Amino acid sequence: MTELLRDQTLVQVNSGSNNNKFYRVTLAVDGTLTKRWGRVGAVGQTKVEQGNEYAFESAIRAKLGRGYSAVEAVADTTPAARSNVGLASAARQGLVADAAARDTVLDALIDRLVAVNAHSIVEQSGGLITVDTSGVVKTALGIVSIRSLAEAVVLLDEMEPLAATARGPLLDRYLRLVPQKVPARAGWAERFFDGDRAFQKQRDFLDQLRESVDWAARARRVQGSDDASSEPQADIFRMKIAALAPTDRDFKRVAKLFEATKNRQHAASARKVVRVYKITDRADAAKAYRAARTKLGNERELWHGTRAMNVLSVLAKGYYVPPTSGTTVVTNGRMFGDGVYFSEQSSKSLGYVDGEMYARGAGRGASKFLLLNGVVMGASYRPRIGWDVGEHRTARNGSYDSTDVAGGSAGVRNHEAIVWNTEQIQPRFLVEVE
C-alpha cells in the first residue's frame, strides 16, 4: 500500500436539504491524488489523478466553500507489530490469573466478547463505525475520539427537550461526530428519534463507543511497554476470571440458584446455565467492599443482567453509574433513578438484557450474560406507591444506602434493588446462559 502524505475527510450533513455526504481526499508520497465522495454509508465515487500539496489544499478549499466541514481525525500511532497483538490477546493476558496456562473455554469466551462488541457497533451504526483488531474505533469520517464523543453527549442532551422539528441543526452536528446511516428519503430528521427509548439507545451507543475507545487506548498503552517482566496487560483489568467445571461446587450452586429464582412467566426463564466463570476482584476493591459490608450490613446476593458487549468493561473497571443527564425523563431499566440495578430474580435481570421479558421468542439464540453479585444494601428505602420522579432523590437525600422495591409494589411486577455507591457491589460470578 502506498504511504499517504496527507489525508482529509470532510462531511456535509444538512437534514433540511437531505444531505448526508462525505468527501475524502488523500495525497500519496508518489503524488497520487485520490478523491472519493458520496452519501455516508455508500461506497461512493472515486477519481485518481496526479497532484501535489497545492492540488490537495485546493480540493479541500473548494469543498469548504460549498458548506462542507472538516472532520477531526485522530492519528493511530500504534506500531503495526504491536497493533497486531490485538485486543483479544491483551484481554487474555489481563483477565486470566495464569496467562501461561491456556484455557480453551476462556479463550473462546474472550474471542466472542471482543467480536460481539465490534459487531454491535457496526450493526448500530449501519456499518459506518467499525472496530479493527487493535481496537481503534473508526468511521468513514475519521477515527473516533473521546473529545468528539463528549461533544456528542452534550448535543444529545440539548436535543432531547426540543420538538422534533427544531432538532435539525443540532442533529446535523451530532451526525458529523457519530455518523449513522439515515434514509435517503427527505424528512428523516424528524423521525430519527421516534420511539420511547430512542434517546436512551443513542446514549447507550455513545457509552459503548466511549468504553471501546478507552479500552483500546489502554490496551495499546500496555502493549507499548518494553518491560516484559512488568506484565502490563494486568493493569487493563480490575478483575480476573476462571472457568468452572460443571462438576464444581460453585457451578452447581449458581446453576441451582438461577433455576430457583426464575419467574416462569418470563420468556427468559426458558434459558439454561451453560457456563460459569468465577470472578476475583482486585485487592483494594475487595477491601472497600468488606469495609462497606462491616459498616452498613444487610448483604444480599443479587443478579445483574448485562449485554455481551459490556462484559469486558465491567471486568476492566467494575460497575459504572451513568447519569440520566439531569432530566426528568424515566428511561427503561432506570425507573428509580441513577444507580446499578439488581434483582433477586434471575429471569428479571436476564430479561432486560435485550428486551427478553414477556415477549416469547424475543432475542433467542445467542448467549446472554448475568453477573451474580454480593450487594451491601445497608438501610434500604422502600417505595410503596406508584412512580414519583422524586423517589430516587428521596432515597439519596435521606439516611438510605439503597432502594429496595418489592415485586407488586410501586408500579413494578418484579423485585428491583438499586445501589449508587459501587463500593457496595462485589461481582462474584459471570454466568452464561443459552
| Residue 317 CA: distances (Å) to CA of 157, 203, 285 | 25, 19, 10
Same domain? For 90 and 228 the reply is yes
Residue 270: CATH number of its domain: 3.90.228.10
Rounded Cα–Cα distance for residues 192 and 127 (Å): 17
203 and 304 share one domain: no
- The contacts of residue 325 (CB under 8 Å, 6+ apart) are 153, 156, 157, 160, 203
Length of the chain: 434
Which of 77, 62, 65 has its CA nearest to residue 25? 62
Domain boundary residue, one of 237, 262, 288: 237
Which residue's C-alpha cell is 420511547? 196
CB proximity list for 385: less than 8 A, separation 6 or greater: 410
Q: Same structural domain for residues 65 and 82? A: no
| Residue pair 344/417 in contact by the 8 Å Cβ criterion | yes
Of 70, 86, 121, the last residue of a domain is 70
Q: Could you tell me if 354 and 305 lie in one domain?
A: yes
Q: What pLDDT shows up at residue 275? A: 96
Name 13's bridge partners.
20
Which pLDDT does position 99 carry in this prediction? 58
Q: Are strands 45-50 and 129-131 parallel, antiparallel or unpaired?
A: unpaired
Residue 101: the pLDDT is: 63
Q: State whether 415 and 352 are in the same domain.
A: yes
Q: Where are the alpha helices (DSSP H) in 96-185?
A: 104-124, 146-159, 168-177
- C-alpha 61: how far from its chain's center? 37
Same domain, 341 and 407: yes
**What is the predicted pLDDT for the residue at 230?**
42
CA dihedral in degrees (411, 412, 413, 417; nearest 10)? -150
- Residue 173: give the domain boundaries: 77-237
Supply φ then ψ for residue 138, to 5 degrees: -125, 155
Specify whether 81 is located in the same domain as 229: yes
Strands 240-243 and 273-280: antiparallel
* Residue 332 grid cell: 427503561
Nearest alpha-carbon partner for 345 in 420, 248, 416, 271: 416
How far is residue 379's CA from residue 225's CA, in Å, rounded to a whole number?
A: 46
Q: CA dist 206 to 18, 145, 193, 243, 254, Å?
A: 24, 11, 15, 31, 33
84 and 22 part of one domain: no
Task: Output the domain CATH number for residue 86.
Answer: 1.20.142
- Kindly report the backbone phi and psi dihedral angles of residue 209, in degrees, each rounded to the nearest multiple of 5, phi listed first: -65, -45
Euclidean distance between CA atoms 80 and 410, whole angstroms: 55
User: Is the same domain home to 98 and 137?
Assistant: yes
Measured between alpha carbons, how far is 7 from 10 in angstroms, rounded to an integer? 10
Pairing outcome for strands 402-405 and 416-419:
antiparallel
- Tell which residue, 10, 67, 71, 66, has the closest CA to residue 35: 10
Alpha-carbon distance 172 to 177, whole Å? 9
- What does each of the 434 residues of the chain score in pLDDT, given as a tens digit? 578 899 888 888 888 888 888 899 999 999 999 999 988 777 889 999 999 999 999 999 999 999 898 765 554 444 433 443 466 777 777 788 765 567 888 889 988 888 887 877 877 776 667 777 666 787 766 677 888 889 999 999 999 999 999 999 999 999 888 888 888 888 899 999 998 778 988 988 898 888 777 776 766 665 555 444 444 444 678 999 999 999 999 999 999 999 999 987 776 778 899 999 999 999 999 999 999 999 999 999 999 998 888 898 899 889 988 665 544 333 445 677 788 999 999 988 887 775 544 444 444 457 889 999 999 999 998 887 665 656 667 777 778 999 999 887 777 778 999 999 999 999 999 999 98
d(CA 34, CA 50): 8
Domain tally for the chain?
A: 3
pLDDT of residue 392: 66
Q: Are residue 46 and residue 96 in the same domain, yes or no?
A: no
- The CATH number assigned to the domain holding 54 equals 2.20.140.10
**Is residue 159 domain-shared with residue 110, that is, in the same domain?**
yes
Pairing of the two strands 380-381 and 402-405: parallel
89, with CB counted inside 10 A (0-12, 13-18, 19+), is: middle
Residues 6+ apart with CB under 8 A from 270: none
Distance CA 124, CA 179 (A): 10
Looking at the structure, tell me whether residues 65 and 169 fall in a common domain: no
Element (H, E) at 95: helix 86-95
Among candidate residues 70, 102, 126, the one where a domain is terminated:
70
